[in-house]
């Protein structure tokens, strides 16, 4: 599973496809026409000739929108028809190869339409097929839609994958924050991967600086990092981070879908972990947690240090 921003799609898929082709693996790509065109252009830049690859049955491409319309009728996924198509495609492209590499955006279209149950059914279907056939599957989700669904739903999708790959932007700049006109609230959804933690720190730091809260950056970034690490390592959950400034207080909150509550524990001198909440308690002016219907929120507050302009 990989999440991406719109500008990342061609690069992510082309790298995945190119790697497979270099290993002698035939490749199947099920994507929107827009993304298929961008893929061809990027592959050409990498030295491949898409038309020749298709002619040699080394690359098979399908329009995701058209394909989904064939197998998703009246809100129900026709798994038998999908299986027949899948087997037909593999039979035509496999040749002498022992494995096939697949990229599929069917889940993307379903997710964007809010068909979460169908997404889970399709992901489970792919796992069943993996027990019958040898293939490598990469599913793509636009990172923007993760924040539009419940963390529990995102968590269930993550559980159906053997690996979760962060978007390339996690290795670059991460989510944007602030600007010339400072906002008073900012939030972002993150995947349960270690790479999310430094991105979150940059997100919080950039937001605070845009508000003139430079003095809060060191402590707030560390506190946020500890709270988010708990969500990733202990709750194994995607999480939603928000930072709000109001009435002279900056409040940072991490919401995850994991069970239990945040609590301090005593760590031995040689323990490598277990001090997260102790650090939060020591650095924040106030902190606490609340149990939600599905998960929990852990929050920390800091007194604002930036001068505020007075209304005339």
Each residue's pLDDT tens digit, 183-210: 478 777 788 888 888 888 988 998 999 8
Nearest to 196 by CA among 241, 152, 247: 241
Q: Where are the domains of the chain?
A: 2-165, 185-303
Q: Express each pLDDT in 69-122 by its tens digit.
A: 888 777 777 878 887 888 788 777 755 556 789 999 888 888 888 888 888 888
CATH 3.30.565.10 corresponds to the domain 185-303: yes
Task: Read off the tokens for 100.
Answer: 């096939």
Residue partners of 144: CB distance under 8 A and separation at least 6:
5
| Overall fold of domain 2-165 | Rossmann fold (3.40.50)
> What is the helix (H) or strand (E) element at residue 251, kind and residue range?
strand 249-256
Residues 120, 86: contact at Cβ < 8 Å? no
Per-residue model confidence (pLDDT) at position 7: 62
Coil, helix or strand for 249? strand
Q: Which two tokens stand for residue 210?
A: 């845009």
Percentage of residues of the chain with pLDDT beyond 70: 80
pLDDT of residue 3: 64
Q: In angstroms, rounded to a whole number, what is the distance separating the alpha carbons of residues 145 and 8?
A: 15
User: pTM (2 decimals)?
Assistant: 0.66
Mapping DSSP to helix (H, G, I), strand (E, B) and coil, where does residue 36 land? helix
Confidence of residue 18 (pLDDT cuts 50, 70, 90): very high
Predicted confidence (pLDDT) at residue 304 exceeds the cutoff of 80 = yes
Q: How far apart are CA 10 and CA 216, in angstroms?
A: 38
Chain CA centroid to CA 23, Å: 27
Q: Which residues contact 137 (CB under 8 A, 6 or more apart)?
A: 102, 103, 104, 126, 130
């Amino acid at each position: 599973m990989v999440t991406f921003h719109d500008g990342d799609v061609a690069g992510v898929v082309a790298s995945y496809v190119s790697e497979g082709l270099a290993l002698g693996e035939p490749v199947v790509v099920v994507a929107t026409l827009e993304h298929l065109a961008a893929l061809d252009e990027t592959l050409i830049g990498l030295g491949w000739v898409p038309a020749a690859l298709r002619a040699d049955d080394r690359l098979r491409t399908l329009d995701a929108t058209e394909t989904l319309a064939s197998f998703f009728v009246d809100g129900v996924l026709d798994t038998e028809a999908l299986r027949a198509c899948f087997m037909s495609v593999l039979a035509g492209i496999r040749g002498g190869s022992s494995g096939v590499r697949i990229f599929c955006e069917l889940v993307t279209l379903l997710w964007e339409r809010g068909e979460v149950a169908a997404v889970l059914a399709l992901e489970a279907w792919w796992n069943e097929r993996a027990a019958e056939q040898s293939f490598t599957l990469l599913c793509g989700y636009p990172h923007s839609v993760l924040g539009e669904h419940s963390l529990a739903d995102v968590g269930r999708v993550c559980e159906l994958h053997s690996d979760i790959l962060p978007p390339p932007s996690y290795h670059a700049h991460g989510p944007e924050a602030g600007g010339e006109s400072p906002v008073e609230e900012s939030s972002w959804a993150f995947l349960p991967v270690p790479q999310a933690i430094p991105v979150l720190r940059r997100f919080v730091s950039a937001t605070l600086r845009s508000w003139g809260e430079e003095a809060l950056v060191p402590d707030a970034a560390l506190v946020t990092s500890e709270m988010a690490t708990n969500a990733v390592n202990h709750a194994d959950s995607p999480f939603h981070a928000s930072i709000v400034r109001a009435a002279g207080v900056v409040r940072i909150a991490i919401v995850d879908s994991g069970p239990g509550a945040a609590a301090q524990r005593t760590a031995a001198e040689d323990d490598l972990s277990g001090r997260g909440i102790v650090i939060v308690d020591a650095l924040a002016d106030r902190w606490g947690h609340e149990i939600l219907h599905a998960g929990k929120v852990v929050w920390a507050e800091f007194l604002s240090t930036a001068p505020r302009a007075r209304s005339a």
